[in-house]
Amino acid sequence: MRTMLITLLLFLAPLSGCLLETEDDGCVSAQGSGGEGPLRILTYDIAAFSDEMLGEFTCNTGYEIELIYADDAGGILELLLQTQQAPQAHVAIGLDNTYLQSAIDFGLLAEHDVNTTHIDPTVMERYSGPFAVPFDQGDVCLNYDEREVDGENLTIPTSLWNLTEPAWKGKTVFPSPLTSSPGRAFMAATVSYFENDEDESTDAFDWWQAMFENGATVTTGWTEAYEIHYSGGYGAWVDGHLGDAALTVSYCHSPGVEAYYSGNWTVSTSLLLPRASFHQIEYGGLVNGGGNVEAANAFLTYLLSEEVNRNMPVNNLMQSVLVNATWPESEGYRYHTDVPEVKADLSTERIGAEMDAWLLAWTDEKNEAEA
């Protein structure tokens, strides 16, 4: 008994040192949002939401924040669908352009009241309707490990079909398009890639079939693919790392991020093949029926503000959507970031209309390969 009490006391002792100091912080006092309560943001683990950023929002506006987590952009859509009769969140952040149309078609989002005039028009071209605002963007593309793909062990692919050759057997990993938004984005890109290549007898799903037969690994999410399987990233230092894949799906600026965190050093680089990359835009929108509209609009506005959105590369590891967005120079971020010249050519409407069929076809190929 005594031992238990002592252990408990030792445990609680540090608490005394952690009593928060109250400061005179010059912030707006908590809004009489009254019955609405704190602003509930449904998102996945976007790093952009740092303490400072959220704290500043609360300080400036007085709106308190509460976060609800889903696993991924797909998880956000699912949660919105599950709770459609009784929405739990007020604003949803993180649906990308492979999920957005579904969200709109299901009536999950409400019209916002946010100024979007300062957003890059090319970004707004993708979607400029009233149900969502873009807040960051990036190009999804394949990354490979330069130590493995060095021209001796493996040569740099000049076509996606190279990845179906025996040398690449079991050395690729892809997050599943069913559960991962980068995975879904890349799969969409392959549709465009194979529609535009010289060979008219094959399509994306023939390629996927060949990839599965060539031992491509599929994971549920990007994190598992990148950290556990990909040999060229920071995953090498993570417990449980396997490093059995020399190539994975990530962002064209991921090597830049690697360099930024490792003192301008990385072995990862992007594979830039025409239309093998997908321009992903992430959106925020008001949840239909969620309420707390004023706070939600305020938050979206804040996300799009100059001081927050310009810092997306550092805070959120994605690019800003404002005009003249650039990558940071420091620690080789910009140097190691690759910029694809020709990206996949798919409209948001087409994605919305055909994504289900693509997912079914992808799943069929996977099932057949396992048979």
Partner 1 sequence: MNLASSKRTPFGVHPIQWLVLAFVIALGIGPLSLAFTRLWAVTGITPWEAVTQVYELPAAKDALTFAVLEATVSTVFTVAIGLPLAWAFGRYSWSRMRLKRSLLFLPFVTPPIVAAAGFLALLSPGGIVYALGIDLRGETGIIGWMASATGWEHPGHFIALITAHVWFNLSLVVRFVEPVVAQLDPRWEEQLRLLPAGQTRLGRIQHLWIPILGPATTVAAAYTFFFSFTSFAMVKWLAPASNTLESLLGEMGGTAGIEGYRVEASLAVLGIATFQTVMMLLMLILAGRFERKHSQVLSLHHEEANRRKHGAAPRVWSWFANGLLIMLLAPLVSVVVASFRVRSSNGATAGYEWTFEGWKRAWSGDFSTVPVYDALANSLTYAVITLLVALPLGYAVASSLVTLRREGHRRVAGMLDSLCMLPLSMSAVMVGLGMVAGILRWYPDLFSFPYLPVVPHVMLVLPFVIRLLTPAMERIEPKFAEQASLLSLGPLAFWWHSRGSFLVVPATMAASLCLAFSLGEFGATYLVVRVGSWDSLSIMVDQVASRPKFDPFVLPTAMALATVLMVVTLMVLTVNERARAWRVRHEV
Which positions lie near partner 1, rule CB under 8 A? Answer: 4, 7-8, 11, 14-15, 18, 40, 45, 47, 49-51, 54-55, 65-69, 71, 74-75, 78-79, 81-86, 88, 102, 106, 178-179, 217, 219-220, 223-224, 226-228, 234-243, 257-258, 261-263, 265, 356, 359-360, 363, 366-367, 370-371
Closest to partner 1 by CB, 268 or 270 = 268
Using alpha carbons, select from 325, 224, 226, 341 the residue that is nearest to residue 277.
341
322 with 310: CB under 8 angstroms? yes
Shortest Å, Cβ 66 to partner 1: 6
Structure tokens at 329: 């120079």
Smaller CB separation from partner 1, 161 or 234: 234
| Minimum distance from residue 79 beta carbon to partner 1 (Å) | 7
Q: Which is nearer to partner 1, 196 or 367 (CB)?
A: 367
**Which one, of 47, 359, 42, 353, lies nearest residue 179 by Cα?**
359
CB of 36 to partner 1, least distance (A): 13
Ranges assigned E (strand) in the chain: 39-43, 65-69, 91-96, 109-110, 133-145, 172-175, 217-219, 247-251, 268-271, 278-287
Query: Minimum distance between the CB of residue 359 and partner 1, rounded to whole angstroms?
Result: 8
Fill in the DSSP letter of residue 34: G
The angle formed by the CA atoms of residues 244, 142 and 269, to the nearest 5 degrees, is 85
Please identify, using beta-carbon distances, which residue of 30 and 360 lies nearer to partner 1. Answer: 360
Helix H or strand E encompassing 336: helix 333-336
> Taking the CA of residue 313 as centre, how many other CA atoms within 13 Å lie in the half-sphere pointing to its CB?
25
Residue number, 157 or 217, with CB nearest to partner 1: 217
- Which one, 239 or 341, has the nearer CB to partner 1? 239
The burial of 370, by beta-carbon neighbours within 10 Å (0-12 exposed, 13-18 middle, 19 or more buried), is given as exposed
State the minimum distance, in angstroms, from the CB of residue 275 to partner 1: 27
Residue nearer to partner 1 on the CB measure, 123 or 228: 228
Nearest approach in angstroms of CB 345 to partner 1 is 26
Closer CB to partner 1, residue 65 or residue 325?
65
Q: Supply the minimum distance, in Å, between the C-beta of residue 306 and partner 1.
A: 22
d(CA 247, CA 271): 9
Could you give the CA distance from residue 257 to residue 251 in angstroms, rounded to a whole number? Answer: 10
CA distances from 313 to 140, 154, 267, 320 (A): 15, 31, 20, 7
* Residue 213 beta carbon to partner 1: minimum distance, rounded to whole angstroms: 13
Q: How far apart are CA 315 and CA 302, in angstroms?
A: 14
